[in-house]
Every structure is written in C-alpha cells, then in structure tokens.
Amino acid sequence: MVPHGPTHTLSRRLALSAVHRGVAYEERSMALLQARLSMSLRRIGGRADGGVDLQGWWWLPSDDDPATLSGVPGHRRLRVLAQCKAESKKMGPKYIREMEGVLHRYHAMGPFEEPGTQESRSVDPAVGLMISSSSFSKAAALLAHSSPLPLILMYIPEYDPLDENAPQVACEDPEEQQIPGFVTFNPALAAKGGLLRGEFEVRWEYQAHAPAEGRLGLWWKGKRVESWTPDVDQEDL
C-alpha cells in the first residue's frame, strides 16, 4: 500500500529539501575550491559512487619535468576524492575511516568511473578531501592527523545570506561570501616526507583596513599561488 496524507507529503518535501540542500552545498564547495585552491571537481553521487561525492584534480605548480606529470607545463596534478557532508552534527571518525577505504580502493583498482565505463586509466597520486558544514569531532581530527594516507579536512559553514554576523570573504562572488571555518593538511600530505614534500601550505589572508574579512590562499615555497585550473571536460575529471 502506498502511503498518502499530509504526513507522507511533508516527509517527501523534507527529503527533497535535504537533497537540494546537499547539492547546493556541494556546488558552493566546488566553486570555492576552484577559486581558492586550484581544484577542478565534479559531482559523483548516486548508489554506485563508491563513497565519493566529488572527484577531480588538484593543479599544483611544479619544478619537475611536466612530461612525466600532468602534461601541463609547470604543473602537476593530484587526484582528489572528496566526501562533502552538509549535516547538523560534527563529522566523526567513521567518515575518516571511510575515506581511508576509498583511497585504498583507488590505489588498488583505479579511479571511480561511471558504471559501464571500460576505459583504463593510469593511477595518479590521490588526496582524500573531507568537507563538512559542521566541523569535525576531536576523534576525527586526531585520526586524520595520524593517518598514513594524505588527507585534507575542510570546514565550510553553510552560507546564510540573511545572517549579518556571518564572516564574509573579501570577494564579490556570492558563492564565496563566507570564509571556511578552517582547512588543515595532515602530515602524510603536507610534511617534508609527504605527498606535497613540505612545499605547500594554506594561509588566511587579511587586509589591514578590513580585519574581519579574509580569504583562503595557497602558498608554495613561501610565495602565494594564484588559483589556476585548465579547461578540462567534465568527463576528464
């Protein structure tokens, strides 16, 4: 029997609202990552997503031979596999363990592809990105820090344009109006022995005349890196 009535209708509306909220949060996160951290991502989602919400590339400057890296002169690329959660409670350690499983699967089997795709692709170095609208528990942060796999924890509060007290980014783009709460790289990613070889860091950039406003910046060897992504087809992400 198919349920009917106002209660069922309200439940469906709430479910759709949660889906729309999640999609909007993913879209905003992708826009911020492209504008500030040189990441070009696409949404995956669905029942066969393999635990991945967003997938794409992180384009980083490099002194190495580009012929052996991304094919883009002066840059190398890292595969980004992300979980993006717009939930009311903090992200716990189970999500960190899930992402570790995703990275192990990626290195064992290759990148996630749509069902039916038979094309074989080389396996690029991968980074696990955890994005949460409600921060991370202490246990999750400690587990990520001690993980042997390269991880990024990123807290991006959901943007409420009606909240006058929300911190604002020094940018006119409405998709970047609120600064992330924090971004942190674990040692397996950022340390000298990690994937980034100790060359990269994330900094908050503030202006003297507007100390309450700021923006996220990526720094390489002590110099700020302007965000850059090449023109890439969605199917190549």
Calculate the average pLDDT of the chain: 79
User: b/e string for 178-199 if b means 16 or more Cβ within 10 A?
Assistant: bbbeebbbbbbbbeeebbbeeb
Asked if 136 and 155 touch (Cβ cutoff 8 Å), the reply is: yes
- What residue ranges define each of the domains in the chain, with the CATH number in brackets? 6-236 (3.40.1350)
Give the pair of three-digit tokens for residue 208: 């003297």
Which pLDDT tens digit goes with each residue over 14-73? 454 767 888 889 998 999 899 989 999 999 866 656 789 999 999 999 887 554 455 677
Which pLDDT tens digit goes with each residue over 80-109? 999 999 888 999 999 999 999 999 999 888
Q: Output the CA angle 137-48-153, nearest 5 degrees.
A: 25
64 CA to centre of own chain: 25
Q: What is the pLDDT of residue 4?
A: 57
Q: What is the pLDDT confidence band of residue 143, given thresholds at 50, 70 and 90?
A: very high
Residue 185 has pLDDT above 70, yes or no: yes
How far CA 55 is from CA of 34, 79, 186, in Å, comes to 12, 8, 19
Strand boundaries in the chain, DSSP class E: 39-43, 54-61, 75-85, 126-132, 151-155, 182-185, 200-207, 210-220, 223-225
Asked if 224 and 218 touch (Cβ cutoff 8 Å), the reply is: yes
Higher pLDDT, 127 or 225: 127
Q: What is the pLDDT of residue 211?
A: 55
User: Averaged over 153-162, what is the pLDDT?
Assistant: 76
190 CA to centre of own chain: 16
pTM of the model: 0.79
User: Averaged over 136-149, what is the pLDDT?
Assistant: 97
